[in-house]
Structures are given as structure tokens and as C-alpha cells.
A and B are shown apart, each in its own frame.
Chain A
Amino acid sequence: MHAEPLSLIFLNAAVVNNFVLALFLGICPFLGVSAKKETAWNMGLATMFVMLVSSAAAYGINWVLGELQLEFLRLICYIAVIASAVQLVEMFVKRFSPALFRSLGIFLPLITTNCAILGLALFQTAKEYDFVQSLVYAVGAGTGFTLALMLMAGLREKLALARVPRVSEGAAMSLMLAGLLSLAFMGFAGLGGSHG
């Protein structure tokens, strides 16, 4: 596992096992903030930043807990670190871009409960990545998340102009679209390492 080249890790996290479309992580923001491309882009970047911070922190925590043989506290520590990182991003965004702060709304604090981030921390622990590999994995996951969000936002912007039957308005149509996207991403299977 340690010999896995960095490019493969990146590719694997970004497209082959895309966090949103193949592993079903971070579906809530995926459906919630994908109405506009601009918001989607900012949300993607914010998430990627939190991913990087928490990935680095998770690596450190895992090492410390391993030394102290307190592995059962791993989950609690991870989530506490993620919550603090989100708080940091929230203060940062609020200070420097109030408009963006408003457009992200409730979904900014909800990054805490974005399972993509916790999932990332758990997966990198399970795969026993070293520090650099973890960071590359985080960037890949963030890229994949942003990619999925942008694709979805583009589709939904087009769809807003189309006339669809009343019964399929709203979430139902978004899920069908997501299904089609996911089907498309399955074409990447076999490109990288096989399992998530």
C-alpha cells in the first residue's frame, strides 16, 4: 500500500472513487448548494480547505493516539478537530467575504457534518497513508468533490430553464441527474486502484 504512487492516489480520490458519486459522501451539500455554479465553486474550495486541514490534523492525532494506545478515542478527536477547522473557515469567510457567507448560509457550519471530510480522515487512517500521501489524498478528494458539485450545478442551471413535469420538480429530478452522473463516472472504474 505504501508504494502507491501519488498520482494514482490523486486520480483515485478525484475521479475513480469520486467521494460524491461513487462513495456517497457529502450528499447533503451536493444536493443543497448545487443550484448555482458560483456558489458550488466556493463551497468546493471551502470544503477542500477544511479537508486539507483536517487530513493533516488527523494524521497527527492518529500518531499520538497510537503512541498512547487510545485508538478508541479516534472518532471523537477527529470530529472535534473538524468542527474547529470549520469554525475557523467560517470566521475567515465571514470576515473577508460577507456576500459569500450569506450565499453559503447554513451549509457552511454544516461542513462539520459533511461526511466527506470525516470519511476522508477515516479512509486515510484505514489505508495507512503517510503524511504526504494523506495530503495528496485530501487534495484529490477535494477536487473530486468540487468537480461533482460543478457538474451538478451546470446541469441544474440548464435544467432551471427547461419545462419538466410538475411531479418531477425538486429533489427527485436532482437525484435522477446525480444517478446519470454517477453512471458516467463508473466509466472511470478500472482506471486507478480498484477499491475505495
Chain B
Amino acid sequence: MAELPNQQESLSLDTFVRGLWEENPVFVMLLGMCPVLAVTNTTVNAIAMGLATTFVLVCSSLLVSLLRNWIPKQVRIASYIVIIATFVTIVDYAIQAISLELYAALGAFIQLIVANCVILGRAEAYASKQRLHTTLINSLGMGAGFTLALLSLGTVREVLGSGTILGIPLFGADFQPWVVMILPPGGFFVLGAWLLLFNWLRLRKERRLQAAAAESAYAR
């Protein structure tokens, strides 16, 4: 994380976009992988998990930021965990009330949001040092980035593994679903494939920058 300790960040568009792309919690920082792999076998699950995590992330970051001058340094991690666990309990009961079907599909992974390192990482590295409004925007960005990652895995796996998207069949009756994609190995494969794609994009950009630099040096 680029920011210096104890330095207040001023609010800008970058505060939001960083979480979405440059510091995407899943694709770049490789945090919070467990729910990413486990609940992305359908698009609906992925969206629900993304929203639930975003809610917990935003609420707990706000509270941590509010209390940042009152929480003693020595017990900060424990305090953060308790704050996070409180909001997860709320989400757990809320989802149970909204849709039992969804609750069954996500299973223990709703409660396991507590153990999502993205949230604790945000609390420790950002919310405990920054003011309320930058924290709000930053955690919204991180949550959006996380949801985006879940969605990009969920859609690919559902399309390949069941031939549907959001439960609507895409291909004709002749489609032979690639079942392994909705089973555990598929999660690893699809995430690996996304990372390969991002690596390729990054390398290509580097090569282009180098070429441009060489060209300008030559022109001079």
C-alpha cells in the first residue's frame, strides 16, 4: 500500500478507483481468496457474496475510522475482529431473512466473511489512519473491486459449467456443460486464467513503454 503511515489522504477519484483496479484485492493483492473460489459457481451467488462483503467492509471500516483515536494500539486487531464479527452477524441474519435459498447456497461462507483478510487488511492499513470520508470512498472502491472479481469468476464459471447466465440458458439443448468448471478445480483454473490474462496485459504494457522510451531516446 502506497500511503505513508499517519498521513491523511485527500479525497480524489483515485481513492475509489484504486480499489477497483490498481490495488484490486483479488487480482492484484491476492487477498480474500477463499470466498472468491468457493461461492463463484453461479453468478447470483457471486453477486450476493460480493454485496455482503462490501457491506461488512464499508460498515466496519467506518466504525474503525470513527474509533481510531480510542482503540489502544495493543488490542487493535482484537477490536477490529470484534467489530467485523458484529457486522457479519447482522449480514448473516439479514440474508437468512431475505432468502433461505441463497442462505443455503452460500452456507458457512457468510459467517466466514469474518476471516476475510481484505476486511481486516483495510481496517489495519487504511481505516485506522484515515478520516471518515476518505475511508468511506476507499472501502466502497475495495468492495466494488472485490465484487467485480467475484462477478468475473462467477459468470465465466456459470457459462462454461452450466451453460447458463443468471439461470437463463445461453446455448441450445445440445450444449454439453463443462461440469468441472462449477466443481472445486474449476475455481482454481478460472482464477488462474484471469491472472494469466492480467499478467499478459501488464507485460505488454511494459514492453510498449520500453519501446516508446527507446524510440524517443533514438529521436533525440
Q: Do A and B bind each other?
A: yes
Give residues in A with beta carbon < 8 Å to B.
21-28, 31, 72, 75-76, 79-80, 83, 109-110, 112-115, 117-119, 122-123, 126, 166-176, 178-180, 182-183, 186
B88 at the interface (CB under 8 A from A): yes
Query: In the docked arrangement, what's the CA distance between A80 and B115, Å?
Result: 12
* Residue contact A172 to B30, C-beta cutoff 8 Å: no
Query: In the docked arrangement, what's the CA distance between A117 and B115, Å?
Result: 9
* Residue contact A113 to B117, C-beta cutoff 8 Å: yes
Task: State the majority secondary structure of interface residues on B.
Answer: helix
Query: In the docked arrangement, what's the CA distance between A83 and B32, Å?
Result: 18
- The interface bits of chain B over 170-193 (1 if a CB of A lies within 8 angstroms of the residue's CB, else 0) are 000000000010011111110110
Query: In the docked arrangement, what's the CA distance between A113 and B34, Å?
Result: 11
Give residues in B with beta carbon < 8 Å to A.
30-35, 37-38, 77-78, 81-82, 85-86, 88-89, 92-93, 108, 111-112, 114-117, 120, 180, 183-189, 191-192, 195-196, 199-200, 203
Query: In the docked arrangement, what's the CA distance between A155 and B188, Å?
Result: 16
* Residue contact A115 to B115, C-beta cutoff 8 Å: yes
* Residue contact B199 to A169, C-beta cutoff 8 Å: yes
- Residue in contact with A115 in the complex, picked from B112, B183, B196, CB distance below 8 Å: B112
Give every chain A residue within 8 A of B89 (Cβ-Cβ). 72, 75-76
Give every chain A residue within 8 A of B92 (Cβ-Cβ). 75
Give every chain A residue within 8 A of B33 (Cβ-Cβ). 24, 27-28, 31
* Residue contact B188 to A178, C-beta cutoff 8 Å: yes
In whole Å, how far is A115's beta carbon from the nearest beta carbon of chain B? 4
* Residue contact A79 to B85, C-beta cutoff 8 Å: yes
- Residue in contact with A113 in the complex, picked from B108, B116, B183, CB distance below 8 Å: B116
Query: In the docked arrangement, what's the CA distance between A179 and B37, Å?
Result: 11
* Residue contact B77 to A83, C-beta cutoff 8 Å: yes
Give every chain A residue within 8 A of B77 (Cβ-Cβ). 83, 109, 112
Residue of A nearest to B86 (CB): A76
Query: In the docked arrangement, what's the CA distance between A178 and B34, Å?
Result: 13
* Residue contact B188 to A175, C-beta cutoff 8 Å: yes
In whole Å, how far is B205's beta carbon from the nearest beta carbon of chain A? 13
* Residue contact B199 to A182, C-beta cutoff 8 Å: no
* Residue contact A118 to B115, C-beta cutoff 8 Å: yes
* Residue contact B117 to A28, C-beta cutoff 8 Å: yes
Query: In the docked arrangement, what's the CA distance between A183 and B188, Å?
Result: 10
Query: In the docked arrangement, what's the CA distance between A28 and B33, Å?
Result: 7
Cβ contacts A to B, 20 pairs, < 8 Å: A24-B35, A24-B38, A31-B33, A76-B82, A113-B115, A114-B115, A115-B115, A115-B116, A118-B112, A118-B114, A119-B115, A123-B108, A167-B199, A172-B192, A172-B196, A173-B192, A175-B188, A175-B195, A178-B192, A179-B188
* Residue contact A122 to B187, C-beta cutoff 8 Å: no
In whole Å, how far is B82's beta carbon from the nearest beta carbon of chain A? 6
Given A72-B89, A75-B92, the answer on whether A122 and B115 have CB atoms closer than 8 Å is no
Query: In the docked arrangement, what's the CA distance between A95 and B188, Å?
Result: 37
Give every chain B residue within 8 A of A183 (Cβ-Cβ). 180, 185
Query: In the docked arrangement, what's the CA distance between A83 and B187, Å?
Result: 29
Known contacts A76-B82, A123-B108, A176-B192; 12 further A-B pairs (Cβ under 8 A): A27-B33, A28-B32, A75-B88, A79-B81, A112-B77, A119-B108, A122-B108, A169-B199, A170-B195, A170-B199, A172-B192, A186-B184
* Residue contact A112 to B81, C-beta cutoff 8 Å: yes
- Residue in contact with B93 in the complex, picked from A25, A26, A72, A172, CB distance below 8 Å: A72
